Amino acid sequence: MLRFKNCRSHFLVVFVVVIFSSLACGPVRATVSYDDKAFIINGNRRILISGSIHYPRSTPEMWPGLIQKAKDGGLDVIQTYVFWNGHEPSPGKYNFEGRYDLVRFIKLVHQAGLFVHLRIGPYICGEWNFGGFPVWLKYVPGMEFRTDNQPFKVAMQGFVAKIVNMMKSESLFEPQGGPIIMSQIENEYGPIEWEIGAPGKAYTKWFTQMAVGLKTGVPWIMCKQEDAPDPMIDTCNGFYCENFRPHNPRSPKMFTELWTAWYTEFGGPVPRRSAEDTAFAVARFIQNNGSFFNYYMYHGGTNFGRTAGRFIATSYDYDAPLDEYGLPNEPKYGHLAELHKVIKQAEPALVSSYPTVTWLGKYQEAHVFSPKSGGHCALFLSNYDPQNSAKVTFWNKQYNLPPWSVSIFPDCKTEAFNTARVSAGSSQMKMVPVKSGFSWQSYIEDTPTADDGESLVADGLWEQVNVTRDNSDYLWYMTDVNIASNEGFLKNGKDLVLTVMSAGHALRIFINGQLSGTVYGGLENPKLTFTGNVKLRAGVNKISLLSSAVGLPNVGTHYEQWNTGVLGPVSLSGLNEGTRNLAKQRWSYKVGLKGESLSLNTMSGSSSVEWVQGSLLANKQPLTWYKAIFNAPGGNDPVALDMSSMGKGEIWINGEGVGRHWAAYTAHGSCGQCSYAGTYSETKCQTNCGQPSQRWYHVPRSWLKPSGNLLVVFEEWGGDPSGIKFVTRTK
Ligand SMILES: *[C@@H]1O[C@H](CO)[C@@H](O)[C@H](O)[C@H]1NC(C)=O
Ligand SMILES: *[C@@H]1O[C@H](CO)[C@@H](O)[C@H](O)[C@H]1NC(C)=O
């Protein structure tokens, strides 16, 4: 289903469910309350400006700087998901350390004087592995995700209650004096509920009551769920949300995800969204009664290690106002910061009146916020014409409005901002190569075969994640093929044709230890088929298939049931008997790479094998491990690894997972001229076509010591390590 290709799809579900709300379920009576116009925090009516920063997508050392820059950029609120699979990697074994130190992150936001919107989910989508669910959850007997299913509800309630109780015990909810002013339950559930019907509705009713029963003292919201039952606030996610109306007319109008561009997938281009159009989306929303908006993302960051969702790149930059490295992405950061100042000047008028809208032309409008009580006034003049600027006359004055723009007059008199006039300077960030190179050593993995002792053996083909439990991207499928000496193809010198079908995501075929084929899918179609000539000999032939998963799906109805790996058919044709079906015969399985089981990515593990160097160094060889000891690049600028000479694999620094590299996957798609004006979509302003989808891989400074650092690269396809360079991100 195309519409589930990602969680940020912006189709409109047009359906109306009327829920008669009882008066007893009014706005939350605590220090955080709201009406249809504004959030009211400790008695102050507020227009809230928010931005998403996901704590595991940066490091604790980066958090204070990111939060401070968010504050300097004019944000009031930091929004984050809660990452269940990071917090509970195995049942009952919790991790709230390092990048997963949620309490520390929230306390830092509090110290900076900002609020928190905590999106507990625990389904989070987020282009994050398995949508945030731990993989073990799928294997709980009777499990079905995100529906009226008892095992699921028990697990979900357990985790949500754990998080709420943790926040309460640290006094982090606003009525306790903490920064959390709102929470979110589930995530973009409306489309799934629409798809699955009655069990979906029952589940919605259940999780609403469950969440409300946890008595956080702050409002709960549900995004993209038009039938959210009271007292839930339903909210909008999209590129624009000015026409959205919450179904409960007493709810404030909230834009929980204003997409600052889009994610990058391996094989896809890098999407951008202009500062002008992003500001335009904000202004359009605010001039139409908007009371809360959140940039998704304000800092996108990095999908470190194996945390990315299926085919999602390691970089999660998102063209956010703070770039992947935590630096201001200009002019977007500065332009939006100016917009936020002007919105704050207009806030007293915005929170105390509805706009009076006057048409000034075919595409032009005036929105005046002028409370009856007097004293305040704010004016927005908008021009929706995507091509032409417009001269408008309002209150006997003439104004010139650029195409596709809104001018804001926070006192109704002075034009303080126009969304299309950018005065913030643009940043000229460069990736500057660091002079010193690496002194590499290499180690080539053996290609395992069916008679290797420790492997699992079974008749037929197994689903990949069922075997790996996602402890590795890799699963070896190995089998023997007997070729009789009287086979015709042996005499006439012909090849056999091997066909292998896989549910994804990438596959390398080894026959008698020789690489004989490489196939891979993509986000749109993860499935793949290998069909190719193979050379077999009389007697026993060893077929070893290395299937690799590139993240697990994070979105779609019952995505937990989607398969990965070689499920067949697997066949050989050109034999005397015609075609031989190999799918049902005996297969051996080996989870992961030898180098993974030896922890070659760590200092202690890396000494367990013999490495070679100099003239013996492996070059352009598949299944090769590389290591080098290096000094940290000088200075304080953020650093990245340029992996453009490499194929596909994984990177570690001092044992920390930098992420999956796949520089050999170049970006398909069209990258043309892109005007800020006109309706934006994720394919409108693409860059990087024909180049690697991701060339540079962020290495957090805090992972580096001055000297004696260990860099390990596993290269699955074959690459030239002499091309790997450190670069610094510098003006
Ligand atoms: C603002 O909200 C009021 C009250 O719901 C509504 O009557 C009005 O049409 C809204 N205005 C705009 C521009 O959305
Ligand atoms: C999953 O693995 C088990 C063995 O652990 C096996 O019996 C079962 O058939 C496998 N299921 C699939 C779908 O591969």
Query: Does any ligand 2 atom lie closer than 6 A to the CB of residue 243?
Result: no
Q: How far apart are CA 668 and CA 680, in angstroms?
A: 20
User: Distance from the CA of 358 to the center of ligand 1, in angstroms?
Assistant: 13
Q: How far apart are CA 139 and CA 151, in angstroms?
A: 11
So what's the pLDDT on residue 6?
A: 62
pLDDT band at residue 4 under the 50/70/90 scheme: very low
Query: Does any ligand 2 atom lie closer than 6 A to the CB of residue 463?
Result: yes
With a cut of 80, say whether residue 30 has pLDDT above it: no
292: tokens are 């809360």
With a cut of 70, say whether residue 29 has pLDDT above it: no
Task: Please give the number of the atom of ligand 1 that sits closest to the Cα of 37.
Answer: 2
User: Distance from the CA of 98 to the center of ligand 2, in angstroms?
Assistant: 35
The structure tokens 């297969």 sit at: 587
Mutate to test the pocket of ligand 1, among 286, 354, 367, 368 (most ligand atoms within 8 A of CB): 354
Supply φ then ψ for residue 235, to 5 degrees: -135, 170
Query: Does any ligand 1 atom lie closer than 6 A to the CB of residue 245?
Result: no
Query: Does any ligand 1 atom lie closer than 6 A to the CB of residue 289?
Result: yes
Nearest-CA residue for ligand 2 atom 13 is 463
Peptide bond into 402 cis (omega under 30): no
With a cut of 50, say whether residue 585 has pLDDT above it: yes
Please, which residues bridge with residue 539 across strands?
483
Give, for 464, the enclosing helix (H) or strand (E). Answer: helix 464-468
Q: Which of 638, 630, 631, 644 is nearest to 699 (CA)?
A: 638
Nearest-CA residue for ligand 1 atom 6 is 354
Nearest-CA residue for ligand 2 atom 10 is 462
Nearest-CA residue for ligand 1 atom 4 is 354
User: Distance from the CA of 471 to the center of ligand 1, in angstroms?
Assistant: 52
Chain-centroid distance, C-alpha 120: 16
170: tokens are 């640290």
Ligand number, closest to the Cα atom of 366: 1
User: Distance from the CA of 354 to the center of ligand 1, in angstroms?
Assistant: 6
User: Distance from the CA of 256 to the center of ligand 1, in angstroms?
Assistant: 19
Q: How far apart are CA 188 and CA 125, in angstroms?
A: 9
So what's the pLDDT on residue 8?
A: 62
pLDDT band at residue 437 under the 50/70/90 scheme: confident
Supply φ then ψ for residue 680, to 5 degrees: -85, 145
Query: Does any ligand 2 atom lie closer than 6 A to the CB of residue 561?
Result: no
Q: How far apart are CA 302 and CA 414, in angstroms?
A: 41
User: Distance from the CA of 78 to the center of ligand 1, in angstroms?
Assistant: 27
> What is the mean pLDDT of the segment spanning 179-193?
97
pLDDT band at residue 177 under the 50/70/90 scheme: very high
Please state, in angstroms and as integers, the Cα–Cα distance from residue 564 to each residue in 279, 544, 659, following that order: 41, 17, 20
Supply φ then ψ for residue 407, to 5 degrees: -100, 140
Q: Which of the residue ranges 11-25, 121-135, 352-366, 555-569 would you say has the lowest mean pLDDT? A: 11-25
User: Distance from the CA of 246 to the center of ligand 1, in angstroms?
Assistant: 11
Q: What is the edge-to-edge ordering of all strands in the sheet holding 39-41?
A: 32-34, 39-41, 44-46
Query: Does any ligand 1 atom lie closer than 6 A to the CB of residue 480?
Result: no
So what's the pLDDT on residue 9?
A: 58
Query: Does any ligand 1 atom lie closer than 6 A to the CB of residue 19?
Result: no
Q: What is the 3-state secondary structure (H, E, C) of 562-606?
A: CCCCEEEEEEEEEECCEEEECCCCEEEEEECCHHHHCCCCCCCHH
Query: Does any ligand 2 atom lie closer than 6 A to the CB of residue 679?
Result: no
So what's the pLDDT on residue 13?
A: 36
Nearest-CA residue for ligand 1 atom 14 is 288
Nearest-CA residue for ligand 2 atom 14 is 462
So what's the pLDDT on residue 7?
A: 66
Ligand number, closest to the Cα atom of 291: 1
Task: Please give the number of the atom of ligand 2 that sits closest to the Cα of 466.
Answer: 1
Task: Please give the number of the atom of ligand 2 that sits closest to the Cα of 463.
Answer: 14
Residues with active-site annotation: 188, 257
β-bridge pairing 115-121 and 180-185: parallel
Q: How far apart are CA 625 and CA 305, in angstroms?
A: 16
Task: Please give the number of the atom of ligand 2 that sits closest to the Cα of 462.
Answer: 14
User: Distance from the CA of 454 to the center of ligand 2, in angstroms?
Assistant: 18
pLDDT digits (tens, 9 = 90+) for 456-505: 999 999 999 999 999 999 999 999 999 999 999 999 988 999 999 999 99
pLDDT digits (tens, 9 = 90+) for 65-101: 999 999 999 999 999 999 999 999 999 999 999 999 9
Nearest-CA residue for ligand 2 atom 2 is 466
So what's the pLDDT on residue 25?
A: 42
Give, for 729, the enclosing helix (H) or strand (E). Answer: strand 725-730
- The answer to whether 50 and 184 have CB atoms below 8 angstroms apart is no
Mutate to test the pocket of ligand 2, among 136, 466, 566 (most ligand atoms within 8 A of CB): 466
pTM for this prediction: 0.95
Query: Does any ligand 2 atom lie closer than 6 A to the CB of residue 363?
Result: no
pLDDT band at residue 14 under the 50/70/90 scheme: very low
Please, which residues bridge with residue 235 across strands?
223
Q: How far apart are CA 59 and CA 80, in angstroms?
A: 14
